[in-house]
A and B are shown apart, each in its own frame.
Chain A
Amino acid sequence: MASESELSAVVEDGVRRRDFINIAAVSFAGVGAVAVVLPLVNQMNPSADVLALSSTEIDISAIGTGQAIKTSWRKQPVFVRNLTAAEIAEAKKVPLSDLRDPQTIDERTKPGKENWLITLGVCTHLGCVPLGAAEGENRGDFGGYFCPCHGSHYDTAARIRKGPAPTNLVVPPYEFTSDTVVTIG
């Protein structure tokens, strides 16, 4: 039991012991609630097996000039294209100021290997697979790739030129392990 003097002191502050207990209890419950919500939200993120960055090796020796192949990395399509000299020249001719997402073809290929254009085959608009990697497919108004879903046109350096996509096709991390083998990832 609090003595008479203690009680009056408390009233002068306007704070009672019970206020402290209330705030402490509710705060503690709040911390507990957040601690429970965190794993419940985090379980939605990609799991360990999905995240396990598998790297894919591709043999590019069979891809002739002007040809392209479609392969898969992290369950996403990847385009590997062997550009012709004309296509490279065409990509170099475009002034950067004309581009929505300005990048030169040199920035999008490896030095000395600028005929090898390796990009994700995922349209940066809403994720469809653009056409143009296979023989006879529509390559759009700029001779690169064309996304049929919402009409995005990519040029020969897979840069966005027309349509709703905001950025160029993504160049994944990769390196040439030999002249004919590329490791993506």
Chain B
Amino acid sequence: MSFPWAKNYEPQQPLMKWLDEKLPLPRLVYNAVGAGYPVPRNLNYFWNFGVLAGAALAIQIVTGIVLAMHYAANAGVAFNSVEHIMRDVNAGWFIRYAHMNGASMFFIVVYLHIFRGLYYGSYKAPREMVWLLGVVIFLLMMATAFMGYVLPWGQMSFWGAQVITGFFSAIPMVGEPIRQWLLGGFAPDNAALNRFFSLHYLLPFVIAGVIILHIWALHIPGSSNPTGIEVKDEQDTVPFHPYYTAKDGFGLGVFLFVFAALTFFTPNLLGHADNYIAANPLSTPAHIVPEWYFWPFYAILRAFTFNFLWIDAKLWGVIAMFAAIALLFFLPWLDSSPVKSSTYRPLNRIFFWILVVDVLILGYCGKSPAEQPYVILSQLGSIYYFAHFLIILPIISRIERPLPMPNSITEAVLAKHADDKSAATA
């Protein structure tokens, strides 16, 4: 599952030789993220975000396990146990703030990772399976983040749980029984809190498992690169270690810098003040907003304010929201252009950036109250989102004339090098 010129693992020490015969774990690591994995020589910093997402997951698991030692998943005491962590537990405030902001950092790097995949066409053959597994990870992350947000049992936790489980009641006939089955009651209460805690603890390990599949599927064709041209021979690649361990190490430093700044200086910047009020089933906060990473999808959910084609507005909203993510599963087949990188796709590049702006607008609408002009803006934004994937992308991938491409990664790198030199001498 690697290029023929990949370096072979040859243990020198007797102990390592012995281990290699019994359990070749060091060999696995060497071939996965060591010198035994040849990687295109031209990766830019956008290729850091996979490793950073892995680091973010590790941080969440470590801080989460520690928090679980002090947290009590009971509707009567959950809110107070979080305050106990914040005030009484040694360094508890730090661990909780790290976990809170760690979730945001995880989504930031994953969104940039998805951005990279979209711009450089990483989802295309032969890496469709990598993309599909990535969308699965994204869905699992959303479920995990949602259930984690319920655990402090504040006002936003409670009403978030009410609204999100309300999605399921939109399903005709069986919706309400499904919702009661999910909640274990008629409204979010102790049963729901307990099971959310159980699943919130479980899902990160499921994510870790799917990440292993994601990397396994990636290592069969090898990593993509900014030109989108496949590796042709040995001079197109460098060993992962030390070249990209060093580059990822630098990126990790920048990531931790931002993470620390958030955690220590503005720990509640991305949270909501309402969640420091204990859950009250009789009073909805004036303005329910999900966490920032759900805003674009929340805007799509709210975009349907009218019944249409015998299906009521509520069900349409829920269908549209899930479809917005499910659509990503079909992306490798919606975009039929053989050219991967948008560097060589002038038309796709323009529409890609319009999509980015569209998602940002949807995000802004998702954050805003359900009033004009945000309702009409989210409607237009949602229409464009679906049009991009279902109409625009299939059309441009057929009519677009790509720019001339270099023959190999090495040629692209050397041409750039020559440009830089001539610019310097000129």
What is A's interface to B at a CB cutoff of 8 Å?
Answer: 44-47, 50, 70, 72, 74-77, 100, 121-122, 124-130, 147-151, 163-166
Contact = CB atoms under 8 A, between A and B. Distances in A.
Nearest to B318: A126
What 4 A-B pairs come out closest when comparing CB atoms? A126-B166, A151-B370, A166-B312, A127-B166
A171 B59 CA distance: 48
Contact of B282 (A44, A46, A72, A150): A72
B370 A50 contact: no
20 contacts: A46-B180, A46-B183, A47-B184, A74-B186, A75-B187, A125-B314, A126-B162, A126-B166, A126-B167, A128-B159, A128-B284, A129-B283, A129-B284, A148-B284, A150-B370, A163-B313, A163-B370, A164-B305, A166-B313, A166-B315
B367 interface: no
A127 B162 contact: yes
Nearest to B305: A164
A77 B281 CA distance: 7
A127 B186 CA distance: 11
A121 B186 CA distance: 13
A149 B163 contact: yes
A75 B186 contact: yes
Contacts of B180: 45-46
Contact of B288 (A77, A149, A163): A149
B106 to A, nearest CB: 26
Contact of B305 (A44, A148, A151): A151
B162 A77 contact: no
Interface string B343-386: 00000000000000000000000000111000100000000000
Contacts of B166: 125-127
Interface in B258-286: 281-284, 286
A72 B169 CA distance: 21
Nearest to B195: A44
Interface of B: 159, 162-163, 165-167, 169-170, 180-187, 189, 191, 195, 281-284, 286-288, 302, 304-305, 307, 312-315, 317, 369-371, 375
Contact of B182 (A44, A72, A130): A44
A166 B313 CA distance: 7
A50 B185 contact: yes
Contacts of A126: 162-163, 166-167, 169, 314
A46 B302 CA distance: 29
B186 A50 contact: yes
Given A128-B163, A128-B288, A72 B184 contact: no
Nearest to A124: B314
A124 B162 CA distance: 11
Given A149-B288, A166-B314, A50 B184 contact: yes
A121 B283 CA distance: 10
A77 B166 CA distance: 16
A149 B169 CA distance: 16
Contacts, number: 98
Nearest to A72: B282
B115 to A, nearest CB: 29
B24 to A, nearest CB: 35
Given A100-B307, A127-B162, A164-B302, A75 B167 contact: no
A46 B163 contact: no
A124 B304 CA distance: 15
Contact of A150 (B182, B186, B302): B302
A166 B170 CA distance: 9
A127 to B, nearest CB: 4
Contact of B371 (A44, A151, A166): A151
Contact of A46 (B185, B284, B286, B312): B185
Contacts of B287: 148
A45 B184 contact: yes
A45 B371 CA distance: 37
A91 to B, nearest CB: 21
A177 to B, nearest CB: 23
Given A47-B184, A125-B314, A164-B313, 7 more contacts: A45-B180, A46-B184, A75-B186, A76-B281, A127-B162, A150-B370, A166-B170
A156 B348 CA distance: 52
A135 to B, nearest CB: 15
Nearest to A73: B186
Nearest to A75: B187
Contacts of A163: 305, 313, 370
Contacts of A50: 184-186, 189, 191
B181 A164 contact: no
Nearest to B307: A100
A120 to B, nearest CB: 10
Contacts of A125: 166, 314
A163 to B, nearest CB: 6
- Which of B195, B283, B286, B287 has the most CB atoms of chain A within a 10 A radius of its CB? B283
Contacts of B170: 166
Given A46-B185, A125-B166, A128-B159, A75 B281 contact: yes
Nearest to A41: B181
Contact of A149 (B182, B195, B370): B370
A75 B186 CA distance: 8
A126 B314 CA distance: 8
B282 A70 contact: yes
A63 B307 CA distance: 36
- Which of A46, A74, A75, A126 has the most CB atoms of chain B within a 10 A radius of its CB? A126
